[in-house]
Amino acid sequence: MAITLRRVIWDNGKPSLDPEDYEVVNDGVAVGRIYRSSSGPRVLWLWGVYGGRHGGRTNNGSADTLDEAKVAWLYAWQGPMTH
């Protein structure tokens, strides 16, 4: 699965004020979220899989970069990549 990100649109139809606030989309359905948080002493990317745990893996966490957050999210969603 390739990760598809789209900017969060709230129930009132307005986009998130932060342009780096994304839903993770699979087949047109939001299945998670990745967003930048700068509320602490450093910038972090927070991520989460909607709907709880998948295969016993953690369903949320943080990363230093957007790319690292995507990798962590994908692992939480489907497990380690196999060749």
Coil, strand or helix: which one is 12? coil
Q: What is the mean pLDDT of the chain?
A: 86
Mean pLDDT of the 46-56 span: 76
Q: Is residue 83 part of a domain?
A: no
**Sign of dihedral through CA atoms 28, 30, 34, 39?**
positive
Q: Is residue 69 part of a domain?
A: yes
Q: Is residue 50 part of a domain?
A: yes
DSSP assignment of 16-75 equals PSSTTEEEEEETTEEEEEEEEE-SSSS-EEEEEETTS-BTTB--EEEESSHHHHHHHHHH
Q: Is residue 26 part of a domain?
A: yes
pLDDT score for 83: 47
Residue that wins the pLDDT comparison between 32 and 40? 32
Q: Is residue 63 part of a domain?
A: yes
Number of structural domains, the chain?
1
pLDDT score for 80: 65
Q: Is residue 55 part of a domain?
A: yes
